[in-house]
Amino acid sequence: MNPDQVEDATRALLEKYPPATTDRAEFLAAQYDAGLTWVHHPVGQGGLGADRATQRRVFALLAEAGAPNLQVESRLAYSMGAPTVVAWGTAEQQERYLRAIATGERWCQLFSEPGAGSDLAAIDARAVREADGWRVNGQKVWTSMATTSQRGMLLARTDPGLPKHRGLTYFALDLATPGVEIRPLRQMTGEAEFFEVYLTDVVIPDADRLGPVDGGWKVAMSTLMNERDMFGTKATEAGPVEVALDLYAELFRRDQQAASAFRSRMVQLWLRGHVLKLYAAGAARRTTGGPGPESSVSKVGFAELNKAGYELCLDLLGDDALLYDTYEPDALTARPGGSAPVDARRLFLRSRANSIEGGTTEIMRNILAERVLGLPAEPRLDKDLPYSELRRG
């Protein structure tokens, strides 16, 4: 279906189900049935087989009409969970999971562990096969939006006798399962947007396994590629450039001479932001397949732009940068609806995480060097050793 036809279908949906007078769940279900939840997904999986760029046109029409926006409200489920289900789920799983996500179910990511660092393949959470499923024990950390999610994208080790990149299996864990404990992690912003999740004798039915047993690494890579692509999408939204421009204009009105000292940095930041938006827009025009290693470009660009941009914002604020008057020590959950106040001081502190979450900038540069530029890979002496024989700190 071409972009104009997709727009016509979106307008027809809005006419039949006006967001202002239609129940939210009813509207989202109708959107899914019309193939307008993910227009770049195949027909029958919430999509119409269109390209990713067309999805932005749909978002614009929906936003103008005041319709729910799952890309903001349940970003991880929408942008990471759903594409993984499309790539690896059975027909039954695709219908069950995609419809749930399309009608508002939220997912979080249960990958990172305290002892694994940046080496995701070194995770130690164990899943042991039982008659009706799997019994899981372990700990996950830095889990965004865990308390507002219904499912977790869980990677666990199912065969320690295999090398570390094998012997991993991927599950869509129901977070209401007995044995799941979620604890907040306090950030320097004052919030607790991230959580640690303890899994104690958690039983997962095999029907909630995504992909093959011991083949979870490739499934996890699908999730991570889409996560990095999601960060690229964020680069097209309002961000540090817009916040810095507002602060620059305010300073210029008060003191033109003081503002002139920041003119060059402001121009450089605007150019970097514009180039990143152009790159992300070009990547969105792919018509087949999911995101590849090139999505690491958007991820690195997003992280570096945020850090440089919000650092400029603090410099523009001058002494006022020391006054964090939107600090919220009791904010224990993430804001999936995007309701956090736009405060350059909070955003400066939060931007430190951008170079870590979704893969550290150093790891992203390794991926770009090896898989995009074709440079020699770093030596990996433990690649073929059984996981059970590896030394772990």
Helix (H) or strand (E) holding 109: strand 107-110
Task: Assign 184 to helix, strand or coil.
Answer: strand
Task: Assign 115 to helix, strand or coil.
Answer: coil
Burial class of residue 167 in the structure, from the number of CB atoms within 10 Å of its CB (0-12 exposed, 13-18 middle, 19+ buried)? buried
Among residues 227, 250, 357, 362, which one is catalytic?
227
Residue 260 zone, left/alpha/beta (φ > 0; ψ -120 to 50; rest): alpha
Q: Which phi and psi (to 5°) does residue 201 adopt?
A: 50, 45
Lookup: tokens for 137: 């024990």
Task: Say whether 227 is catalytic.
Answer: yes
Q: Answer whether 58's CB lies under 8 Å from 65's CB.
A: no
Round to whole Å and give the CA distance between 20 and 26: 12
- Rounded to the nearest angstrom, the gap between the alpha carbon of residue 62 and the centroid of all alpha carbons in its chain is 21
Q: Answer whether 67's CB lies under 8 Å from 27's CB.
A: yes
Round to whole Å and give the CA distance between 84 and 92: 14
* Residue in the block written with tokens 């095999």: 206
Round to whole Å and give the CA distance between 231 and 68: 21
Round to whole Å and give the CA distance between 34 and 74: 20
Cβ atoms within 10 Å, residue 362: 11
CA atoms 372, 376, 377, 383: torsion sign: positive
Q: At what angle do helices 3-16 and 24-33 cross, to 10 degrees?
A: 150
Closest CA to 102 of 169, 35, 158: 35
Angle at 77 between CA 67 and CA 368, to 5 degrees: 115
User: Residues with catalytic annotation?
Assistant: 227
